[in-house]
Amino acid sequence: MQRRFRTVAAAALLAMCWSLMGSGCFPLIDLGEEADTPPSPTKLLTVAALRPASDRNVPEGAVVEVEWVASNLTDDEAIATILARDRSDLSDIVLAGGVRVAENGAHQTVSWDTSEFAGRRFSIIVRVTGGGRTEEDIADGEVQVNAAPQFDFTDPFEDTTLEQTDPNSTDDPFVTIRWTSVDPDDEAEFDVGVDIDEDHTNDNELVLLSGTLPTQSGFDTFDWIGRDTEDQRVDPGAYIVYARVNDGVNPERFVDAPGRIIVPELDEPNEPNEIVLEITSPEEDAEFLVGDDPLEIAYTIDESDDVLVDIAIDSDDNHNNANEITISSQRLIDSETKSDSFEWDGTDDDGMAVPDGIYKPHLVINRGSGAPQIVDGSALIFRRSNDDQPLIALLEPATDKSPDPGAFVLIKWRDDDPSETAKVRLTLDDDDTPNESVETDDAEIEILAFSKARLASEDGVQDTFQYKVPATLADGDYFIFAYIDRDEAAPFDHVAVAGGRIRIDTGASP
């Protein structure tokens, strides 16, 4: 009955508007059925919210038309305010305010941009105050602003080559695809696939996985072995990893991973006595304590001409970001040499002690022309001061990143704790020295505190964290530090610095 009286009131307002303003008040609105008993014609201040007239579910960023009409017979100027009331906490947000309602009334439509209101439901209220009176009306329809589903790939972070099949193994090599996703409103549908081109709608895509997004943000993975839905190896090429996300309300969107998956041509089987360029020792992860006998690093090689070989170690998997440590340089290997080895005593090429850490050895082959070839070892080296020391190594970011405020930066690390009791802490700082007794500039910013951290594991297990860059971060270069410790207090058991910085440049700084 209340809605019928409000409809008649709106009709009365429009009629009054017609008599006072003329036909310029129209077009007329269909106001529905008549009421049994009309409101009092002597009411001095009246208002009606006409639209939205029914409940609406709109995509994030849609424009919603809010229409209202008011009369004012108070002999004073009245002021109208249009509000959106959040149904979750009943808080009011002003959509338009200070609108004059003169003695000849008002009829207005407000265009409401919902970009900043995602994931909430609102009722629309029009409030008019004047002549010592206040009247308000609530629109018949409520507005649900549907949050757009979120989907972000974390791996492959850079172009990654699918390894060749090992003829001596029954396991297929694979590349792991990782992502984070959430749709708090609708459990949106998604596909994860690979595509040889950037058009993901031309029917040459290969869908690997389909499902619905979780309503709480979470991680998921898929291991692709380079085969299609009929278990046949795909053609060689560079495949874009993509996702299609559709919640039926917001526009369908496609998301590409930062890196592609490179499927190479299959190698011809090696001849029985063919020598492969590879690091052969250490073959498995090796403990190398300070004070131990030298550690052998051995490799096989078969070159038609003399070459120069550098032996180096690196705490991350990017060997071009200047944090590599050369432990033996410019080794002249003649064309007759089929294998070589180096007894590493724990120092670099200049004789300086290498810091404790988790390292992977690699070779740099210089043939005199073209870019040097880099050959990675398969095993990790744990360099420790004592056999119970926890270690950590930051893998990402390995190069400088320039994210916008609100964007995510992937932080990836390896940790190793023989006791599996240490915790990991991540911080951000505007200088490159962790845990200073007297801070150079601003204090370190907590990214992941010990109290919220995950326990470290043994055997160099990898872990990740998605850091959302805050809008409050001032312009400048920032370094990422990782601490690992058992008692969560300085001096820490081990500290690592990422090879890449976060560079903020909003243009706000002079």
- What secondary structure does DSSP assign to 160-210, as a single string? EEPPPPPTT-SSPP-EEEEEEEE-TTT--EEEEEEESSS-TTSS--EEEEE
Rounded Cα distance between 59 and 249, Å, is 5
**pLDDT value at 3 more than 80:** no
pLDDT digits (tens, 9 = 90+) for 34-73: 334 444 446 889 999 999 999 999 998 899 999 999 999 9
Where b means 16+ CB within 10 Å and e means fewer, 462-472 reads: ebbbebebeee
Mean residue pLDDT across the chain: 87
Which of 187-201, 220-234, 433-447 is predicted with the least confidence, judged by mean pLDDT? 433-447
Rounded Cα distance between 192 and 402, Å, is 27
Average pLDDT value for residue range 330-335: 95
pLDDT band, very low/low/confident/very high, at 106 (cuts 50, 70, 90): very high
Cβ neighbours for 133, distance < 8 A, ≥ 6 positions apart? 44, 45, 74
**pLDDT value at 278 more than 50:** yes
Rounded Cα distance between 275 and 254, Å, is 45
Neighbours of 128 (CB within 10 A): 24
pLDDT digits (tens, 9 = 90+) for 372-393: 999 999 999 999 999 999 999 9
Rounded Cα distance between 172 and 226, Å, is 9
Instruction: Give residue 20's pLDDT.
Output: 41
The SS3 of residue 175 is strand
Largest CA distance in the chain: 110
Task: Tell me which of 12 and 471 has the higher pLDDT.
Answer: 471
Beta pairing partners, 114: none
Where along the chain do its domains lie?
2-146, 150-263, 278-384, 391-504
Cβ neighbours for 29, distance < 8 A, ≥ 6 positions apart? 10, 14, 50, 67
Neighbours of 356 (CB within 10 A): 21
Instruction: Give residue 31's pLDDT.
Output: 33
Rounded Cα distance between 361 and 346, Å, is 13
Which of 108-122, 334-348, 459-473 is predicted with the least confidence, judged by mean pLDDT? 459-473
Instruction: Give residue 217's pLDDT.
Output: 86
Residue 90 identity: L
pLDDT band, very low/low/confident/very high, at 459 (cuts 50, 70, 90): low
Q: Which fold has domain 278-384?
A: Immunoglobulin-like (2.60.40)
**pLDDT value at 135 more than 80:** yes
Residue among 2, 26, 136 nearest 70 (CA): 136
Instruction: Give residue 335's pLDDT.
Output: 92
Instruction: Give residue 75's pLDDT.
Output: 86
Instruction: Give residue 153's pLDDT.
Output: 95
Instruction: Give residue 458's pLDDT.
Output: 67
Instruction: Give residue 312's pLDDT.
Output: 97
Polymer length of the chain = 510
Instruction: Give residue 373's pLDDT.
Output: 95
Which of 154-168, 184-198, 332-346 is predicted with the least confidence, judged by mean pLDDT? 154-168
Percentage of residues in the chain with pLDDT exceeding 70?
88
Q: Do domains 150-263 and 391-504 have the same CATH topology?
A: yes
Rounded Cα distance between 337 and 314, Å, is 26
**pLDDT value at 271 more than 70:** no
**pLDDT value at 363 more than 70:** yes
Q: Are 100 and 109 in contact (CB under 8 A)?
A: no
**253: Cα separation from own chain's centroid:** 16
Instruction: Give residue 266's pLDDT.
Output: 81
Instruction: Give residue 272's pLDDT.
Output: 56
The SS3 of residue 6 is helix
What is the Cβ-side half-sphere exposure of residue 417, based on CA atoms within 13 angstroms? Answer: 19
Class assignment of domain 391-504? mainly beta
Determine whether domain 2-146 maps to CATH 2.60.40.10.
yes
Q: Are 182 and 214 in contact (CB under 8 A)?
A: yes
Instruction: Give residue 61's pLDDT.
Output: 87
At 339, which helix (H) or strand (E)? strand 339-344
What sign for the dihedral angle of Cα 262, 265, 270, 274? negative
What is the Cβ-side half-sphere exposure of residue 227, based on CA atoms within 13 angstroms? Answer: 11
Average pLDDT value for residue range 256-264: 94
Instruction: Tell me the backbone φ, ψ of residue 449, rounded to 5 degrees.
Output: -80, 160
pLDDT digits (tens, 9 = 90+) for 142-190: 999 998 899 999 999 999 999 887 666 678 899 999 999 999 887 799 9
Question: 272: cis peptide before it, omega within 30°?
Answer: no
Cβ neighbours for 320, distance < 8 A, ≥ 6 positions apart? none
Percentage of residues in the chain with pLDDT exceeding 90?
69
First to last CA, the chain: 63
At 376, which helix (H) or strand (E)? strand 373-376
Kindly state which CATH superfamily the domain 150-263 is placed in: Immunoglobulins (2.60.40.10)
**pLDDT value at 438 more than 80:** no
Rounded Cα distance between 503 and 54, Å, is 48
Average pLDDT value for residue range 306-335: 95
Average pLDDT value for residue range 205-232: 92
Q: Are 29 and 49 in contact (CB under 8 A)?
A: no
Residue 390 identity: P
Average pLDDT value for residue range 496-502: 95
Average pLDDT value for residue range 179-206: 92
Instruction: Give residue 405's pLDDT.
Output: 87
Q: Are 158 and 238 in contact (CB under 8 A)?
A: no
**pLDDT value at 457 more than 90:** no
